[in-house]
Amino acid sequence: MIKKKHLFLILLVILSCSKNDEELDLLTSDTEQLVFPDTPKLKESLLEISIENKSKESIKINKYSIPDGFKIRNLSYPLTINSQSSISLSIVFYPTETKLYEEELIIINDSEENPNLKIKLIGNGLPNHLNTLSFSITSQEKVDFLSIYDSVTIEHLTISDIHFDDPIISFESLENIKSVDRLTIFETHNTVSFEVFADIEINEHITISSRKEEDLSFLDDIIRNDISYFFHLNQNITDLSILESLENIDKLEVSSNQSITNLDALKNTKINSKITIKQNTNLRDLCGIKESAYKVETRFSDNGYNPTENDFETGNCRR
């Protein structure tokens, strides 16, 4: 005959087993939280989690809720997880702000025990920086692309409007550019303000090429001392008045500017390294550079007038 004490123990074991069987009817993950590595804004970090069905029946994932800054890659629902099976989910951290992200992913399913499986997602969004050897701004879309970064450093920046369906209309959003070593400006469909470039460090040289304007004063904000200037194939400029405020420049190259007639704007400017003036067929007055010509490496060729060193010494710098 079974004693009451033994009967009580047997009932406890049965209840315990029954409880364990019920606990198997769960959808679980292999972690309660995902901690992503620090990630620059608009970059991605990816981690995997495993979702396991420990029940005796299949479980259907109906949908999920995921917070801003995170996404699940390649998951479509409804999704069925068979009994005693698991799936792997790829969770992507994609911060759009510089801040700490700490939110919950909720997997909504038809299990009775855990219909809202919650996993904590943690990630730190860092400032993003672009440091590149070269970049070409060929449309407003390219301007907008650069503007998404917190700071930009470019060795050689080229500006050239080649997309008629998306012309450059504004550089205002480029306040994030910190420095450019070399700046080349070709033709643009619109005469756009370069005011934002007043605060950008330009270290080596500026090239202005293939412009059609007679007056380049809209480029005043890019002009600064102690760098080099190259003017090529500008059809309608008659002088270099854009440089008249400068005290010192490194190198000067002026080539194939068919309307330029004089260099008077440079009369108070010292050229420190090299002068190259060539193929400017209407350029006959070079007196503006008489203080620097032949005191540094100097080359004149195929201009309206090509004075020699002796010509400068005797005051014959124009014809």
Q: Look at residue 19 in the predicted model and tell me its pLDDT.
A: 42
Reported as a single tens digit per residue, the pLDDT across 31-85 is 999 999 999 998 999 999 999 999 889 999 999 999 999 999 988 888 999 999 9
Kindly tell me if the per-residue pLDDT of 272 is higher than 90.
yes
**Contact of 81 with 58, CB cutoff 8 Å:** yes
Q: Are residues 266 and 304 in the same domain?
A: yes
Domain that holds residue 44: 26-126
Q: Are residues 168 and 102 in the same domain?
A: no
Count structural domains, the chain.
Answer: 2
In angstroms, the Cα distances linking 219 to 122, 141, 190 are: 47, 22, 13
Q: Are residues 250 and 167 in the same domain?
A: yes
What is the average pLDDT across 270-290?
98
Residue 6 lies in a domain: no
Nearest to 61 by CA among 34, 19, 89, 93: 89
Q: Are residues 194 and 58 in the same domain?
A: no
Residue 277 lies in a domain: yes
Cα 116 to Cα 65: distance, rounded to the nearest angstrom: 10
Mean pLDDT of the chain: 91
Lookup: tokens for 63: 């949908």
Q: Are residues 122 and 135 in the same domain?
A: no
What is the average pLDDT across 140-168?
92
Q: Look at residue 8 in the predicted model and tell me its pLDDT.
A: 44
In angstroms, the Cα distances linking 177 to 145, 168, 282 are: 12, 17, 38
Kindly tell me if the per-residue pLDDT of 20 is higher than 70.
no
* φ, ψ (nearest 5 deg) of residue 128: -110, 140
Output b/e per residue, 242-277; b: 16+ Cβ within 10 A: bbeebeebbbbbbbbbeebbbbbbbeebebeeebeb
Residue 7 lies in a domain: no
Q: Look at residue 3 in the predicted model and tell me its pLDDT.
A: 52
In angstroms, the Cα distances linking 228 to 132, 145, 248 are: 21, 28, 9
Last residue of a domain, one of 94, 111, 126: 126
Q: Look at residue 42 in the predicted model and tell me its pLDDT.
A: 87
Cα 299 to Cα 33: distance, rounded to the nearest angstrom: 70
Residue 319 lies in a domain: no
What is the average pLDDT across 83-97?
94
Q: Look at residue 11 in the predicted model and tell me its pLDDT.
A: 40
Last residue of a domain, one of 66, 93, 126: 126
Q: Look at residue 13 in the predicted model and tell me its pLDDT.
A: 41
**Full DSSP string of 15-59:** HHHHHHHHHTS-EEES-SEEEPPPEETT--EEEEEEEEE-SSS-E
Q: Are residues 122 and 143 in the same domain?
A: no
**Contact of 224 with 201, CB cutoff 8 Å:** no
What is the average pLDDT across 121-149?
95
Kindly tell me if the per-residue pLDDT of 221 is higher than 90.
yes
Kindly tell me if the per-residue pLDDT of 131 is higher than 60.
yes
Quick one: what percent of the chain has pLDDT higher than 70? 92
What is the average pLDDT across 195-218?
95
Q: Are residues 100 and 193 in the same domain?
A: no
